[in-house]
């Protein structure tokens, strides 16, 4: 039987999941996709994810691919799969790709947003998708600090220790800090991100906003190449994977 490779754009609310990657002790986005795809296509399916997001992290457009011998047209799979998935996971698009196309070995631009809700008290309708802080943040300092991180750098200081990667050099194309009313949005676009990198950037920029670090200290943090040089890892709920753009 002929096999084809299908690419999915996957959106989810990560609140109730143990992250993307299959685990023995909890339901994950990957396990739900595998279960529902296997039921739908009547064969065992195992997806490959582009970004293995942590527990509590959300996505508007993560990417998964899988191979199938099903004759269901690739474009129809999004509709049929959404009928089976829980309401906090929704496929946004499905299409056939080349049999050797792999989301992790393909040049791409990834955009993440880290959202902070600023107020005297938490706002219930923001709690699942924004990190709350009552501390005042100097947005202009955060923007200045962000500027130092743009470009190609060794981001080892912004990588969770224990992560096994060949190289910790990445390129950030843009890093903006945007005010949206009571919310502050840190929007970062890059060619790739190390483990917890966006959350460590967010935690470090927040320390700059609180006056605990200077914008200029970003240079030193990069130079130290040590996780302890940077600020804390900001909580997962504020993080959202916005989109993947593949360059070939």
- Is residue 121 at the binding interface for a second copy, with CB under 8 A as the rule? yes
Q: Is 54 a catalytic residue?
A: yes
Site string for a second copy, 229-248 (x = CB under 8 A): -----------x--------
* DSSP H stretches of helix in the chain: 29-41, 74-84, 139-149, 197-209, 217-224
Query: Which CB sits closer to a second copy, 129 or 158?
Result: 129
- Is residue 105 at the binding interface for a second copy, with CB under 8 A as the rule? no
Quickly tell me which residue has 């993307």 as its tokens.
20
Query: Which CB sits closer to a second copy, 24 or 83?
Result: 83
CB of 60 to a second copy, least distance (A): 7
Crossing angle (nearest 10°) for helices 197-209 and 139-149: 140
Instruction: Please identify, among the stretches 125-133, 138-146, 154-162, 171-179, the one whose residues bind a second copy according to the rule CB under 8 A.
Output: 125-133
Tokens of 166: 């060949």
Which of 23, 82, 168, 171 binds a second copy (CB under 8 A)? It is 82
Residues of span 13-42 touching a second copy by CB under 8 A: 13
d(CA 39, CA 45): 9
Nearest Cα to 46, choosing from 35, 56, 54?
A: 35
Query: Which CB sits closer to a second copy, 124 or 162?
Result: 124
Contacts of 173 (CB under 8 A, 6+ apart): 109, 150, 189, 190, 191
Give φ, ψ of 35 to 5 degrees. -60, -50
- Is residue 58 at the binding interface for a second copy, with CB under 8 A as the rule? yes
Residues that bind a second copy (CB under 8 A): 11-13, 58, 60, 78, 82, 87-92, 119-125, 127-129, 240
Q: Which residues belong to the active site?
A: 54
């Amino acid at each position: 039987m002929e096999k084809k490779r299908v690419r999915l754009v996957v959106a989810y609310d990560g609140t109730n999941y143990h992250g993307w990657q299959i685990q023995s002790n909890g339901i994950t986005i990957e396990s739900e996709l595998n279960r529902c795809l296997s039921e739908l296509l009547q064969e065992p399916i195992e997806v490959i994810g582009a970004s293995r997001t942590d527990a509590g992290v959300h996505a508007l457009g993560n990417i998964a691919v899988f191979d199938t011998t099903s004759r269901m047209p690739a474009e129809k799979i999004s509709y049929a799969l959404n009928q089976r998935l829980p309401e906090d996971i929704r496929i946004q698009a499905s299409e056939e790709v080349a049999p050797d196309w792999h989301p992790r070995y393909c040049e791409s631009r990834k955009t993440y947003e880290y959202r902070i809700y600023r107020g005297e008290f938490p706002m219930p309708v923001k709690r699942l998708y924004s990190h709350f802080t009552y501390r005042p943040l100097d947005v202009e300092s955060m923007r200045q600090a962000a500027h130092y991180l743009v470009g190609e750098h060794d981001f080892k200081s912004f990588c969770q220790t224990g992560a096994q990667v060949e190289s910790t050099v990445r390129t950030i194309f843009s890093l903006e800090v945007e005010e949206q009313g009571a919310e502050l949005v840190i929007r970062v676009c890059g060619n790739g991100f190390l483990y917890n990198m966006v959350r460590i950037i967010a935690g470090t920029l927040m320390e700059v906003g609180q006056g605990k670090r200077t914008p200029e200290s970003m240079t030193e943090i990069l130079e130290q190449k040590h996780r302890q040089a940077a600020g804390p890892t900001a909580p997962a709920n504020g993080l959202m994977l916005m989109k993947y753009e593949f360059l070939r």
